[in-house]
Amino acid sequence: MMLSGITLGQYIPGRSFVHRLDPRTKILASAVMIMAVLVCNKPAGYVFLTLGTLLALGFAGTSPRLLVGILRPFWVILTLTLVLQLFFTPGQVLLALGPLHVTREGLVLGGQILWRLILLIVFSSLLTLTTSPLMLTAALESLLKPLQRAGVPAFDLAMMMTIALRFVPTLLEEAQQIIKAQQSRGAVFTRGGLLQRVRGLVPLLVPLFAGAFRRAEELATAMEIRCYRVGANRTRMHQLRYDWRDYAVLAGTGTLFLATLALRWWG
Amino acid sequence: MSHIYHLGQPGERIALQDISGDIRQGELLAIIGPNGSGKSTLARHFNAVLLPTRGTVTVNGLSTADPANRWEIRCRVGMVLQNPDNQLVAAVVEEDVAFGPENLGLPPEEVRRRVDRALALAGLGEQRLRPPHLLSGGQKQRLAIAGALAMKPSCLVLDEPTAMLDPAGRREVIQTLLSLNREEGLTIVLVTHFMEEAVLADRVWVLSGGRLVLEGTPAQVFSHREALQKIGLALPGPAELAWRLRAAGWPVPAGILTLNDLVACLADLLSETGWGQQ
Amino acid sequence: MILVEHLTHIYAPGTPLALTSLEDVSLRIEEGEFVVLAGATGSGKTTLVQHFNGLLLPTAGRVLVDGRDTRDKRVRRDLWRTVGLLFQNPEQQLFEENVFAEVAFGCRNLGLDEGTIEIRVRRALEMVGLEPVRFGTLSPFALSRGQQRRVALAGVLAYRPRVLVLDEPTSGLDPAAREQIWQMLKGMQQHGHTVVVITHHMEDAARYADRVVVLHRGKIYRQGTPRQVFGDPEGLRAVGLDVPMPGELMYRLRQRGLPVNTGILTLDEAEAELKKLAPSGKACPVM
Ligand SMILES: Nc1ncnc2c1ncn2[C@@H]1O[C@H](COP(=O)(O)OP(=O)(O)OP(=O)(O)O)[C@@H](O)[C@H]1O
Ligand SMILES: Nc1ncnc2c1ncn2[C@@H]1O[C@H](COP(=O)(O)OP(=O)(O)OP(=O)(O)O)[C@@H](O)[C@H]1O
Ligand SMILES: [Mg+2]
Ligand SMILES: [Mg+2]
pLDDT tens digit sequence for A170-189:
787 788 888 889 888 888 76
Across all residues in chain C, what is the average pLDDT? 91
Residue B166 at interface with chain C, using a CB cutoff of 8 Å: yes
Q: Is the pLDDT of residue C282 over 50?
A: no
Amino acid occupying residue A162: T
- Co-location of B146 and B250 in the same domain: no
Beta bridge partners of C28: C3
Report the SS3 class of residue A158. helix
Mean pLDDT of A166-172: 74
Q: Which of residues 177-236 of C touch A (CB under 8 A)?
A: none
pLDDT for A5 equals 43
Contact A185 C15 (CB under 8 A): no
Buried b (16+ CB within 10 A) or exposed e, A196-228: eeeebeebbeebbebbeeebeebbebbbbbbbb
Q: Give chains near C: 3+ CB pairs under 8 A.
A: A, B
pLDDT for A111 equals 86
Ligand 1 atom, smallest distance to C146 CA = 26
**Cβ atoms B49, A225 nearer than 8 A:** yes
In this structure, what DSSP letter does residue C281 have? Answer: T
Query: Where is the domain boundary, B217, B250, B269?
Result: B217
Q: Which of residues 125-154 of B touch C (CB under 8 A)?
A: 130-131, 134-139, 142
- Co-location of A248 and A126 in the same domain: yes
Question: Is residue B227 included in any domain, yes or no?
Answer: no
Q: Which of C173, C267, C285 has its CB closest to that of B240?
A: C267
- Co-location of B23 and B82 in the same domain: yes
- Co-location of B187 and B249 in the same domain: no
* Residue, of A65 and B148, whose pLDDT is higher: B148
Give the separation between CA A208 and CA A167, rounded to whole angstroms.
13
Give the separation between CA C242 and CA C233, rounded to whole angstroms.
6
Across all residues in chain A, what is the average pLDDT? 81
- Co-location of A27 and A127 in the same domain: yes
- Co-location of A197 and A248 in the same domain: no
Other Cβ atoms closer than 10 A to C262? 17
Give the separation between CA C199 and CA C173, rounded to whole angstroms.
12
Q: Does ligand 2 have an atom closer than 6 angstroms to the CB of C199?
A: no
**Cβ atoms A236, B102 nearer than 8 A:** yes
DSSP A233-266: ----SSPP---HHHHHHHHHHHHHHHHHHHHHHH
Question: Is residue A59 included in any domain, yes or no?
Answer: yes
- Co-location of A127 and A248 in the same domain: yes
Domain count, chain A: 2
- Co-location of B130 and B256 in the same domain: no
pLDDT for C176 equals 94
Q: How confident is the model at residue A190 (pLDDT cuts 50, 70, 90)?
A: low
Q: Which ligand neighbours the alpha carbon of C170 most closely?
A: 1
The CATH number of residue B69's host domain is 3.40.50.300
Q: Which ligand neighbours the alpha carbon of C10 most closely?
A: 2
Domain count, chain B: 2
Give the separation between CA C248 and CA B260, rounded to whole angstroms.
10
pLDDT in tens, C138-185: 999 989 999 999 999 999 999 999 999 999 999 999 999 999 999 999
Give the separation between CA C96 and CA A210, rounded to whole angstroms.
10
**Residue-range definition of the domain harbouring residue B150:** 3-217
Give the separation between CA B141 and CA B170, rounded to whole angstroms.
11
Residue C59 at interface with chain A, using a CB cutoff of 8 Å: no
pLDDT in tens, C79-104: 999 999 999 988 888 999 899 999 99
Give the separation between CA C80 and CA B229, rounded to whole angstroms.
37
Q: Which residues of C touch B264 (CB under 8 A)?
A: none
- Co-location of B79 and B123 in the same domain: yes
Across all residues in chain B, what is the average pLDDT? 88
Angle at the Cα of A181 from the Cα atoms of A179 and A186, rounded to 5 degrees: 90
- In a mutational test of the C interface, the residue from A4, A129, A183, A185 whose CB has the highest number of chain C CBs within 10 Å is A185
> End-to-end alpha-carbon separation of chain C, Å?
57
**Cβ atoms C194, C28 nearer than 8 A:** no
* Percent of chain B predicted with pLDDT > 70: 92
Closest chain C CA to residue B136: C42
Q: Is the pLDDT of residue A250 over 50?
A: yes
Report the SS3 class of residue C218. coil
pLDDT in tens, B44-85: 999 888 888 888 888 888 888 888 888 889 988 999 998 888
Phi/psi at A187 (5° precision):
-70, 150
Q: Is the pLDDT of residue C223 over 70?
A: yes
Question: Is residue A248 included in any domain, yes or no?
Answer: yes
**Residue-range definition of the domain harbouring residue A117:** 17-131+241-266
pLDDT for B100 equals 92
- Co-location of A102 and A152 in the same domain: no
- Co-location of A26 and A108 in the same domain: yes
Q: Which residues of A touch B90 (CB under 8 A)?
A: 132-134
- Co-location of B51 and B188 in the same domain: yes
- Co-location of B95 and B151 in the same domain: yes
Q: Say how many Å lie between the CA of residue B34 and the centre of ligand 3.
A: 9
- Co-location of A29 and A126 in the same domain: yes
- Co-location of A248 and A121 in the same domain: yes
- Co-location of A120 and A25 in the same domain: yes
pLDDT for B216 equals 94
- In a mutational test of the B interface, the residue from C265, C274, C276, C286 whose CB has the highest number of chain B CBs within 10 Å is C274
Question: Is residue A234 included in any domain, yes or no?
Answer: no
* Percent of chain A predicted with pLDDT > 70: 91
Structure ipTM: 0.89
- Co-location of A251 and A124 in the same domain: yes
Contact B35 C284 (CB under 8 A): no
- Co-location of B145 and B273 in the same domain: no
Question: Is residue A35 included in any domain, yes or no?
Answer: yes
Q: Is the pLDDT of residue C287 over 50?
A: no
* Residue, of B231 and A167, whose pLDDT is higher: B231
- Long-range contact pairs involving C118-124 (C-beta distance under 8 Å, separation at least 24): C120/C158, C120/C159, C120/C160, C121/C154, C121/C158, C123/C158, C124/C154, C124/C155, C124/C157, C124/C158
Q: Is the pLDDT of residue A2 over 50?
A: no
Q: How confident is the model at residue A9 (pLDDT cuts 50, 70, 90)?
A: low
The answer for C10, left when phi > 0, alpha when psi is -120 to 50, beta otherwise, is: beta
Question: Is residue B174 included in any domain, yes or no?
Answer: yes
Mean pLDDT of C236-265: 88
Positions in chain B short of pLDDT 70:
1-13, 272-278
Name residues whose C-beta falls within 8 Å of residue B165's C-beta, 6 or more positions apart in sequence: B138, B141, B142, B173, C41, C200
Q: Is the pLDDT of residue A16 over 70?
A: yes
Residues with CB under 5 A from ligand 3 (ion): B 39-40, 82; C 144-145
pLDDT for B243 equals 93
Residue B207 at interface with chain A, using a CB cutoff of 8 Å: no
**pTM greater than the 0.90 cutoff:** no
For B88, B135, B151, C92, C242, the CA distances from B139, given in Å and listed in that order, are: 12, 6, 19, 17, 19
pLDDT for A3 equals 38
Architecture in CATH of C2-226: 3-Layer(aba) Sandwich (3.40)
**Hey, whose CA ends up nearest to atom 31 of ligand 2?**
B135
Question: Is residue A141 included in any domain, yes or no?
Answer: no
Q: Is the pLDDT of residue A121 over 70?
A: yes
